[in-house]
Amino acid sequence: MEPIRDTVGASRGFLSGPSPPSVVAWGEVLWDLFDDGARLGGAAANVAFHVAQLGGAATLVSRVGTDELGARARATLEASGVDVAQIQSDAGSPTGTVSVTVRTGEPLYTIRSEVAWDRIAWNDAVAQAIGSADVFYFGTLAQRTLLGRGALAMAWTAIRAGCLRVCDLNVRPPFEDCEVIAATVGNADVVKLNLVEASLVERAFPARGEAIGCLLDQGVKLVALTRGAGGCTLATRTARVDHPGFPIVDGRGDPVGAGDAFVAVLCCELGRARGLPTDLRPLAERANRVAAYVASCPGAMAPLPPALVGG
């Protein structure tokens, strides 16, 4: 199979079309602490960053401390084209951080608790932003506290008819709650998950079979099962495609944020199309291609080359 860096031109123009989708991402913004320094991350922040790069109108709903890390996070995202008006400030809690260690190609996370993004507050401005979105993205990690669960539950009630609900399960130990997984899946049109999360879905819905079929039976319209360098499976009730992915040829990168880049492509493509495609293969190829490029770079917010953005 051809390397990602030799074939990125094949994706040129894939986001051309009608008006760009408005995507609201709800959840964590934080700093990933690697051995060689801190890099901005957090699943929701990563999705918003890549949506903006891909031509979507990205808004992030999150919360940072009134500290230097919070100011840097806000400034970095704003400079990247993300609407930061709904990033709240918290004088009583610090901006989130995560210690990241990559072992045998896979990241291990130690996530700091009692931080600002655990305290996202529901208010009229957030409700207005969500109520006008074409796509609403959310996950499970921002529900690790009762406060976080309650605020997101309010958000689900504000979503307008026709808005696509995209969920990345992004389950991280020790926050593996089957009840949260079940509630989250029940509010999603599209679910992205990896192999570890697939086993958790099967635990959350015992006797329902393998994860993809289980999620479709729960009313999910599109399931995206990612396998890292092994590509992905996309499935609806009427179609399924397995894509082998693209090899990573540059050894300086890490897989942190690659899945979030994958989800950002889903948000943009499905939001632009205002529905599910009948042919899933182009979507799988585009999402894998962008994810593979991000995995070839250090950190979660790698700037995409023009060929992947669409020129």
pLDDT of residue 204: 81
Lowest mean pLDDT among 108-112, 223-227, 251-255: 251-255
pTM score of the predicted model: 0.90
Instruction: Give the gyration radius of the chain's Cα atoms.
Output: 18
Of residues 262 and 208, more confidence is placed in 262
Least confident of 77-81, 177-181, 280-284: 177-181
Mean of the pLDDT values across residues 40-60? 97
What type of residue is 251? G
Per-residue pLDDT at 11: 32
State mean pLDDT over 279-290: 96
pLDDT at 110: 87
- The predicted model gives 60-76 an average pLDDT of 98
Q: Give the pLDDT confidence of 263-278 residue by residue, as tens digits.
A: 999 999 999 988 888 8
Tokens standing for 311? 């020129």
pLDDT at 239: 95
pLDDT in tens, 85-110: 999 999 999 999 998 887 766 777 78
Structure tokens belonging to residue 235: 């499935």
Name the more confident of 102 and 124: 124
Q: Return the pLDDT at 129.
A: 97
- 3 has a pLDDT exceeding 70: no
What pLDDT is stored for residue 299 in this prediction? 85
By percentage, how much of the chain surpasses pLDDT 90? 68
pLDDT score at 2: 30
CATH architecture of 19-301: 3-Layer(aba) Sandwich (3.40)
pLDDT at 206: 76
pLDDT of 223 higher than 50: yes
Give the model confidence (pLDDT) of 14-48 as tens digits: 334 457 899 999 999 999 898 888 999 999 999 99
Show the 3-state SS of the chain. Answer: CCCHHHCHHHHCCCCCCCCCCEEEEECCCEEEEECCEEEEECHHHHHHHHHHHCCCEEEEEEEEECCHHHHHHHHHHHHCCCECCCEEEECCCCCEEEEEEEECCEEEEEECCCCHHHHCCCCHHHHHHHHCCCEEEEECHHHCCHHHHHHHHHHHHHCCCCCEEEEECCCCCCCCCHHHHHHHHCCCCEEEEEHHHHHHHHHHCCCCCCHHHHHHHCCCCEEEEECHHHCEEEECCCCEEEECCCCCCCCCCCCCCHHHHHHHHHHHHHHHHCCCCCCCHHHHHHHHHHHHHHHCCCCCCCCCCHHHHCC
pLDDT digits (tens, 9 = 90+) for 148-169: 999 999 999 999 999 999 999 9
Q: Domain map of the chain by residue range?
A: 19-301
Mean pLDDT over each residue of the chain, to the nearest integer: 88
